[in-house]
Structure formats: structure tokens, C-alpha cells
Structure 1
Amino acid sequence: MRLFRRRPKLPSTARPPLERDERVLAWASVGNGEGDGVVVASNLGLWLPGRGHRIGWHDIVKAAWSGRELTVTCGEQVAEREGYLVIADRPAERYLLLDPGELPHQVRTRVTKSVVYTQHYALPGGAGRIVGRRVPGVDGLTWMVHYDPGTPHDDEAVIAETDQLVAAARAATTPQDL
């Protein structure tokens, strides 16, 4: 009896165009009925079927595993403000994984590790989440704001309050010189 089952190697025909320092951590075949495809987790992000590019771990707002299906919600930059980005959720994408192996664990671990700071705040007329994330190749944290649906994100009072909240979060997470 074997205690550990060796995972088959990712077929070369399914291998995404990895960068020089990028390596495959886990992969799984997709059974969505849309032809052959694989989901590949690398140290830099997630490769999804039908896309010619990698999604960085910092660009994944939410990932959920049902035991059969991986649901990925990516963020989309809708505005850039002084010191932070305003992000909106793109529609969730679902992938039925035939033999998930370590893929769900790697996705959860990598998305979670990219988040250094997250806090939900009440804002005038709504609310929003301030998030500080690690981005490969970028020193320090990248700050993002996700406004709750219905929050008037272009309102001057909301922008002013958000600016203050991001500045306070940045100050709270910046190491102080000794």
C-alpha cells in the first residue's frame, strides 16, 4: 500500500507561458464541458483556462472551494487615487476540478498570504473595505479599496474619508524607525 500518491506531471501542451523565475505549484484539469483545460497555480499567480495571461494573487478578491468546484472572483481597477486603487469585483468564474490535488490549498494559501491588512469601514452613505496587499516585484504594500454596492464612491465626502482611512492604515502598517 502506498501512503503517498505521486501527482502526474503537467502535460507540456497544457503548460502556460511561465516567466523565467515562475514555477508550477499545483494544477488540475477542468471538467466544465468547454474542452480541455487546466487551472495552474504558480508562485506568481493563477492561470485559468481560456486566458492568455496569469492573474496575480493580489488581483484575486475571493476564492472559494466547494469540494468539487473552485470559484474565483477577480478585481478590476476602476479608479486610481493618491496612494490607492479603487477595485470592483468582476463576475465570479467557476471551474469544476476533476482531480483537484493540492490546487485548492495552494490557491487559498497564496491569496491569503497576499493580504497584509484588511478592514471594513462605514463611510458616508455606505461602506468599504481597505486592503493592503503584497504584490510580487513591488516594495511595500499596494493599497486597494472595495466599496460596498450602493456606496457613492465618487462623492467628495466618501473620497475624503477613504483618503484618511487609507492614510491611517498605511501609518499603522509602516515599521517605525528605532
Structure 2
Amino acid sequence: MRLTWRKSVPDGVVLQRGERVLAVGGETVASDAALYLPGTDEVTRLPWERVEQATWQDGVLAVREVGGRRHTVPLTEPGSVPETVRERVTATVVVSTHVKLPGGGVRVVGRRPPRADGEVRWSFVFDRGLDPADPGLLAQAEQALEEIRRQTGL
């Protein structure tokens, strides 16, 4: 007889086929592929490579997606969710480098999904005060990305 132990997931969290639960904290679930965040109407599934930044402070998990959308989730019973989030987000980063631009700079970040068969997704994080919609700055960031891709083979 084989005994298995499975962490129970809150209602509304539907794991994708083959996903494993790593940590549960209240209504928040961390799997090997994504972070599931409770919402007012529905659960948000956020793949790890789409998490730009996550912080844990004073019982609150704050998550910023690539592109800027923010989520704030109070975790009264965090379990190992904060540590798991930190580990999983860090594991997706393949390249992170800061490039100087006129008036500041841009961080060019390449992230890969936890399952190694995924392509690297690139994002730009412009320094405070720079307009990410400025076509000139965006063109320079794209040039920097091409150089990084050439150097790394990614």
C-alpha cells in the first residue's frame, strides 16, 4: 500500500495538469508552476516568470507582476508561502542586468518558466523618472536586450 500526503487547496484554486502544491497559506497557494492569489471574485493564477517582485512584511504578501499590476494579500496563516514565493521567483531569473541610459537606466530581466522547456521572457524595468513609453528609450532598451541575447545565447 502506498500512502500519499497532499496539501489541501482552497475552493476556487484549480491546478493545471501535473502541477504540484508546494505551500498553502490561508487562501494563497504556491505550486511548482504558479502562485494562486485570492481575489474578490476569482482566484488569480500568476505563473512564476510573470512575478517581477514579491515582498513579505507585517503579515502581508505584496506581489507586482511584470507590467506593473499589483496584488496585496494578507496572510494570517502564511505557512511556508513567503519562503516558497522567494525561492520560486528567484529560480525563474536567468539574466538580470542594469544598462545605463540617458538620465538613468533600465534593468533587463530574462525569466524562464520553472519547467525548462519554456522560452525566456524578457522585461524592462526602467529607473524611476524615466518614461517607459518614450520611443527613444524603448529603442535603446531593445538594443541593449539584443546585445544581452547575443552575449548569452538566449
Give the shorter-chain TM-score range. Answer: 0.7 to 0.9
Distance across 2 between alignment mates of 1:119 and 1:143:
12
CA gap of 1:106–1:151, structure 2 versus 1, over 3 A, is: same
Output the aligned Cα RMSD. Answer: 2.5
CA gap of 1:9–1:152, structure 2 versus 1, over 3 A, is: closer
1:172 to 142, 145, 151: 151
Distance across 1 between alignment mates of 2:139 and 2:23:
43
Match of 1:10 in 2: 8
| TM-score of the pair, normalised by structure 1 | 0.71
> Amino acid of the residue matched to residue 121 of structure 1?
V
> 1:1-178 residue pairs with structure 2 within 5 A?
9-10=7-8, 13-14=10-11, 16-29=13-26, 38-50=27-39, 51-66=42-57, 68-76=59-67, 89-91=68-70, 93-135=71-113, 139-174=118-153
SS of the equivalent of 1:146 reads strand
Shift of 1:99: 2.0
Identity %: 35
Distance across 2 between alignment mates of 1:25 and 1:40:
8
Shift of 1:43: 1.0
Shift of 1:98: 1.9
Answer with 46-55 or 20-29: which moved more: 46-55
Shift of 1:114: 0.6
CA gap of 1:8–1:67, structure 2 versus 1, over 3 A, is: farther
| TM-score of the pair, normalised by structure 2 | 0.81
Shift of 1:106: 0.7
Shift of 1:108: 0.4
SS of the equivalent of 1:104 reads helix
CA gap of 1:154–1:44, structure 2 versus 1, over 3 A, is: same
Distance across 2 between alignment mates of 1:9 and 1:141:
30
Runs of 4+ displaced beyond 4 Å: none
**Residues 125, 152 of structure 1: 8 Å contact kept:** no
Higher CA-based Rg: 1
Distance across 1 between alignment mates of 2:75 and 2:132:
37
Aligned residues: 147
CA deviations over 1:124-151 (Å, ceiling 9, x no partner): 2432110010025654422111222331
